[in-house]
Structures are given as C-alpha cells and as structure tokens.
Amino acid sequence: MEKDMNKHKFEDLDVDKFLAPENEKRSVLAPDGSIVEVDPLKDYFCQDRPEVQKPRSGPVENFLNWARAESLWVLGFGTGCGSIEIPPLTTPRFDMFRYGVQMRATPRQSNVFVISGYLSVKTLKRAIRAYEQMPSPKYIIALGSCTINGGMYYDSYNTINRLDAYMPVDVYIAGCMPRPEALLAGFAKLKELIKAGKAEKANEYAENFDWYKTNQKKIIKDWNMPDFNW
C-alpha cells in the first residue's frame, strides 16, 4: 500500500515530534565494526550552564580589553533588511577593515553579532543558537528600530518587538535603516565600551540565564534543541 504522504511520521509514536532529525537517538557503525549508541542531546552538546568570566586584575584586564576592542570579528549572519547595509562596509568607501572589524563565516570564529533588523521567531531561534556557540567575550550590536521596539513591524504576528528580552544587547543603532556610517559609529561606540570595561552583556546573559531562557521558550513553541548550545 502506498505511504500516506499526509501522515506525520511521529503521529503514532510516543516521541517528541519537534525534535530535530539530527538530534534523534541513533546507532552508528564505528570504524572497528562495533555499533555505538549515540544520543546527540547528551553526547554532542555541553551540559553545563554558561559561566560568568570575572575580569582579571587592573593592567592585565586593560591590556586584554584593548586587544579585544581592536579586533572585532563579526559573524556573517544577516537577519533582516539591515543586512544589506553590511556589504558596503567592506568596500573602499567605508572600509571597516581599517578599524580592525572583519567578517567571519562561523560563530566559532567571531565575537560580534550584528542583529541587522527585524527578527522573526524562526530566525530568532537560529540567532540564539549562533550566539550561544560564539566564544566569550562576545558582543551584540542591534541595528535598526525593529530591534528596539519592533519598528514598523510592531504589530506583526511573527516578529519580536524588543530584542533585549531574548538576547543581551551591548550597542543599539537606531534608524530605519541606519546608513553604513551609523554602523561604523556603532562599532566605534562598542570599542569605547570595551576599552572602558563596560561591555559586560555576555556575563549578564550568564547571570540571568534562566530569565532569558524563559522568555525565549515563551515564544519559540517548538523548542527542539538543547538548552545549552555550546
């Protein structure tokens, strides 16, 4: 008999239907021929909560902050219409490389996350996951009005209104859309904050981790990933 295409494959089974396929329990054939049971939620992800990184003493911390401020590596993840403002920064006219800002392809290599415009719930889920995979110290720049109060999408059924309820934001850049110059000014402001030792939002995220997770789970209804993504 032909398979019913309409039937969800988890309908009859007593399993979490929101669990992503790559996170299901499965057995894997090892190179030596033995069969290994793998539970990705336990084996592939860290089970510990994020930790607060305490600042080091005086001059050491100042030196580290100077070094951090001078090499901001941005995750190449465009979330909304504002992502179109980022490519001009790599051109000779605006040239962000002279400030030590450059783009990186994966979260593991970057420490600045530019949330560029509105975030739908579907994208927020990916953004949280990418943010948590970034190594500390890490910073978030929120670009555009949509991240502040929803902007022109304030009454949309699918875009969040304020970003700081779900992710910790270091610098806001207001505007709809902000020009690339505004983005450069935002990077300059972030540098100032880092050098002054005030860009501590990643630690705030670790301290108020439960509050952030509660907010995130309130709107992401099919939570099919582990709580700790690093």
Q: Which stretch binds another protein (CB under 8 A): 3-11, 35-43, 93-101, 200-208?
A: 3-11
Q: Binding to another protein by residue 18, rule CB under 8 A?
A: yes
Q: Binding to another protein by residue 158, rule CB under 8 A?
A: yes
The minimum distance between CB 5 and another protein, in angstroms, equals: 5
3 state DSSP class of 143: strand
Q: Binding to another protein by residue 6, rule CB under 8 A?
A: yes
Q: Binding to another protein by residue 220, rule CB under 8 A?
A: yes
Q: How far apart are CA 113 and CA 116, in angstroms?
A: 9
Q: How far apart are CA 200 and CA 192, in angstroms?
A: 13
* Dihedral angle over CA of 68, 163, 230, 210, nearest 10: 120
- Contact assessment for residue 103 and residue 90, using Cβ atoms and an 8 Å cutoff: yes
Count of alpha carbons within 13 angstroms of residue 117, beta-carbon side: 16
Structure tokens given for 173: 């850049």
Q: How far apart are CA 227 and CA 213, in angstroms?
A: 8
Neighbours of 111 (CB within 10 A): 19
Q: Which stretch binds another protein (CB under 8 A): 29-37, 70-78, 143-151, 179-187?
A: 143-151
Q: Binding to another protein by residue 106, rule CB under 8 A?
A: no
The minimum distance between CB 122 and another protein, in angstroms, equals: 5
Among 63, 97, 154, 211, binds another protein (CB under 8 A): 154
Looking up tokens 């080091």 gives 56
Q: Binding to another protein by residue 8, rule CB under 8 A?
A: yes
Among 41, 64, 165, 185, binds another protein (CB under 8 A): 165
Q: Binding to another protein by residue 7, rule CB under 8 A?
A: yes
Size of the site for another protein (CB under 8 A): 27
Residues lying near another protein in the complex (CB under 8 A): 5-8, 18, 120-122, 125, 148-150, 154-162, 165, 218-222
